[in-house]
Amino acid sequence: MNKKLNLYFDNAATSWPKPEAVYGAAERQMREACGNPGRSGHTRTLEADRLIYRTREAIGRLFNIPDPARVVFAYNATDALNIVIKGFLEKGDHVLYTAMDHNSVLRPLGRLRRDQLITTTIIPCSFQGFPDLEYLESAYQPNTRLLVINHASNVTGTIAPLKEMIDSAHKRGVKVLVDTAQTAGVLPIDVQNDHIDFLAFTGHKGLLGPTGTGGLYVSPGNDLKPLREGGTGSQSELDIHPESMPERLEAGTMNSAGLAGLLEGINFIFDVGIKEIQESELKLRKYLYAKLQSMKSLTLYGPSDSNQAVAVISFSIENTDCGEIGYILESSYGILCRTGLHCAPLAHQAMGTFPEGTVRLSPGFFTREEDIDHLVHAINEIIRFTTG
């Protein structure tokens, strides 16, 4: 048996490691700069406000959002998706979403549907995870108001044809919500060029920041109904939450330590360059995919052309429980990955891996080729062991 390693292949769940500056900034914010953002006017508070503003600007620069007032911070992508879904939709609306969508989309929509507020139609996806665009064309109804797109699948890495789907929706006056949980910081995203109405992002994956950070972009002219109201440090004498963005959709003390870290994560992305990050992840996916492809009794899911995917690969091994594979990878080899259904049950149905699930490998920017070599060696040994 090999010497136990500590190899992380679960960047689609949360990225690790973070750039060194991320740890330092979050700690510094708590130790030295801690003031309650927005509350009272002493200098630490002002510093916290400035930090949050700079983080908004950085998000703006990353997604080409001209007005930082349209950048709203939230706990994570799930929270941001809920804010849009529950703040935008009204009784009687019809919503389109795809089979690749995550539970953070399926469940809030499911609640509204069960409460008989909305109706929904699922756009089926191919075995490789691509939405059926012909089906989409036929799925609109007169009351369709929103199309939700998972920019890239957290199960297969499949990148959705964003442009075609957005064009299709906009031709009918339907707004589009894009879930960038797997693509922010990894693929170039331009809300103006791509004509995105609502964008949800999470801070702790490709943006390399701490957990508990994320948010959304709300395009001008789309004022969402707030899900929560509370302290903002402004208009304190009124029992009316501020109407103007971004405070309209933010309430309570902001996660300034988390956002301090997130700012450094985004700065790291600017320093390296998003194109470089994209290329480096593409190279890793190609390398890993090619190695896995050559293995017998292993089934690979998702696009074989890595140009159509982010660095996420799902596989299963004939007659072997995927949870068992994950357990052996960790306990015998020190390799961390994720197994099971990955919070996207419809995606597994599309691939025929429901309810068993898959083993998911997601390298990140800091993964080295030699890490992949160790991983491949381990999987080879497991196959030899389990298939006799």
Ligand X SMILES: Cc1ncc(COP(=O)(O)O)c(C=O)c1O
- Give the footprint of other proteins on this chain (CB under 8 A): 37-42, 45-46, 49-50, 52-53, 57, 67-69, 232-237, 242, 244-247
**Per-residue interface string for the shown chain with ligand X, residues 188-217, x marking contact by CB under 6 A:** --------------x-----------x---
154 binds ligand X per the rule CB under 6 A: yes
10 binds ligand X per the rule CB under 6 A: no
Alpha-carbon gap, residue 134 to 221, rounded angstroms: 30
234 binds, options ligand X, other proteins, none, Cβ within 5 to 8 A by partner type: other proteins
How many C-beta atoms lie closer than 10 Å to residue 110's C-beta? 13
Place of tokens 């969402």: 224
Q: Rounded to the nearest whole angstrom, what is the least distance from the CB of residue 95 to ligand X in the complex? A: 16
Exactly one of 78, 156, 278, 339 binds ligand X (CB under 6 A); which one? 78
Structure tokens at 283: 């190279």
Could you tell me if 324 and 316 are in contact, meaning their C-beta atoms sit under 8 angstroms apart?
Answer: no
Q: Rounded to the nearest whole angstrom, what is the least distance from the CB of residue 210 to other proteins in the complex? A: 22
Q: For ligand X, give the closer residue by CB, 45 or 104.
A: 104
Exactly one of 77, 184, 207, 288 binds ligand X (CB under 6 A); which one? 77
String of DSSP letters for 349-379: HHHT-TTT-EEEEB--TT--HHHHHHHHHHH
CA-atom Rg of the chain in angstroms: 21
Contact region with ligand X (CB under 6 A), list: 47-55, 75-83, 184-192, 366-374:
75-83
Phi, psi at 362, each rounded to 5°: -135, 95
72 binds ligand X per the rule CB under 6 A: no
Alpha-carbon gap, residue 381 to 377, rounded angstroms: 6
150 binds, options other proteins, ligand X, none, Cβ within 5 to 8 A by partner type: ligand X
76 binds ligand X per the rule CB under 6 A: yes
Write the DSSP symbol of residue 24.
H
Exactly one of 10, 49, 179, 281 binds ligand X (CB under 6 A); which one? 179
Q: Rounded to the nearest whole angstrom, what is the least distance from the CB of residue 285 to other proteins in the complex? A: 39
Write the DSSP symbol of residue 314.
E
How many C-beta atoms lie closer than 10 Å to residue 138's C-beta? 8
Q: For other proteins, give the closer residue by CB, 244 or 294.
A: 244
Backbone CA torsion sign across 104, 107, 110, 114: negative
150 binds ligand X per the rule CB under 6 A: yes
236 binds, options other proteins, ligand X, none, Cβ within 5 to 8 A by partner type: other proteins
How many C-beta atoms lie closer than 10 Å to residue 163's C-beta? 11
Backbone CA torsion sign across 7, 103, 99, 95: negative
Alpha-carbon gap, residue 230 to 238, rounded angstroms: 11
Contact region with ligand X (CB under 6 A), list: 74-82, 136-144, 188-196, 376-384:
74-82
Contact region with ligand X (CB under 6 A), list: 164-172, 179-187, 241-249, 254-262:
179-187
**Binding-site ranges for ligand X (CB under 6 A):** 76-78, 102, 104, 150, 154, 179, 181-182, 202, 214
